[in-house]
Structure 1
């Protein structure tokens, strides 16, 4: 009887342990996107907007570092969470994300900032969170890419002076809310110096609609400006939008022509 009782005790204790383990399994297998810890066989994470709230309908995709095109993609849920199955046995993967956002009659493709841009394996239970940022340099420093938009600067071909675009100050005054709905602020920007990567360019400007004016600082004289990519006349100021996905090679860019 002693052995039978002891055996029954062990069985009951084992069942309790199994039951306790079963109760904790869902948290381990399906972690909250707000808590650390991943899920075996999946990439998980959360996407948030500039204010930190969950961002739905973002596209998250993965690609293999060796076997290109072997990844998959998904979209974030209403709370910004997502989950992608990762093929086992294929080594390292990388994750990226973007949103498509309608604004002032255009659609913009906006890359999202990774909390961690390291590659990962399927066995690591990887977690990668992303955030929509209006400004900032993208992680790959070998590329001159920013989350904000860019303005290409064009001196009028009939203008003989002002070879130093770094001495021209462009004022960007928001004309309505920015693309994320925030009010934005007035920016005063200058192009890069000769020989630099951003020569004749203004970079990392939050996507929005702006009233733009320009001043040549050595003389303090106001300049005339216009959209460099259409036939509009020069004026003392211009209202400008960045191009969207309708013109991929100019996406998130605008062109500003200037003269005295």
Structure 2
């Protein structure tokens, strides 16, 4: 009888631990990513809030050259980086998402960063850093107002104040993430810094990445003459009232569109 009683207690205890373990897994599935001792963990979501699989996440040591740890998100959007035995200190954490299907014939790579700007140190109790793929907004942790979205810049040899140039961008089909875009109307303004290879640091910033039909209009002060504006994609030379463009991408994954403007008296 004593033996039967002991076996019953052991079976009950085993079931309790099994249920606790199951509850923990369910929390992860629902979007909770608990800290795990000695690991950096997190969940990555797409712009619609769904788990994003196949994203490569890399932690790089800020002092030790070429010391990196990387992993890939699973089908639940969860990644785990084993930091046990790694040197102490600060680490930079970044994710790269490559579009699995070419968008209008191009493959795009997006840098993803956590909104939590707290320094990542070699974990002892565990660190959680969740991330999201976004098409616009300020780059997390930016000190220069760098933007996630596409930059549109231009070149014009005509002396027209930039603030008098108004660009209209109409989406042509879905955006790169499959969502429906909105028409953007914006005046030209300065970017926080110049980009290598671009015409200038003036234009329209933070455009959700996608294909757009672009036109530009001269909006001078009241009483001043209006100029007719035509534009061309950089290097094409065929000036029109509007052009349809797909953004290019530089080596550090900044999306940009470059135009040339031809201004004549209207």
Interval of TM-score (by shorter of Structure 1 and Structure 2): 0.7 to 0.9
Structure 1 residues 28 and 89: alpha-carbon distance in aligned structure 2, compared to 1, 3 A threshold: farther
| 8 A contact 1:97–1:112 mirrored in 2 | yes
Q: Distance in 1 between matches of 2:70 and 2:218?
A: 48
Q: What's 1:149 paired with? A: 150
5 Å-filtered alignment, 1:13-92, equals 24=20, 32=28, 34-88=31-85, 90-91=87-88, 92=90
Q: What's 1:217 paired with? A: 219
Length-normalised TM-score, structure 2: 0.79
More displaced stretch, 23-32 vs 124-133: 23-32
SS at match of 2:163: helix
Alignment: residue pair count = 245
Q: Distance in 2 between matches of 1:68 and 1:124?
A: 25
Q: Deviations over 1:78-128 (max 9, x none)?
A: 121111111435223232112111211111111124132321332031111
Q: Which runs of 5+ in 1 are unaligned?
A: none
Q: Distance in 1 between matches of 2:133 and 2:240?
A: 34
5 Å-filtered alignment, 1:1-260, equals 24=20, 32=28, 34-88=31-85, 90-91=87-88, 92-101=90-99, 102-118=102-118, 119-155=120-156, 157=157, 159=158, 161-162=159-160, 164-192=161-189, 197=193, 199-218=201-220, 219-228=225-234, 230-244=235-249, 248=251, 251-260=254-263
Root-mean-square deviation over aligned CA pairs: 3.0
Length-normalised TM-score, structure 1: 0.81
Q: Distance in 2 between matches of 1:27 and 1:249?
A: 41
Q: Distance in 1 between matches of 2:68 and 2:74?
A: 20
SS at match of 1:124: coil
| 8 A contact 1:88–1:122 mirrored in 2 | no
Q: Which runs of 5+ in 2 are unaligned?
A: 195-200
Q: Distance in 2 between matches of 1:88 and 1:222?
A: 65
SS at match of 2:87: coil
SS at match of 1:95: strand
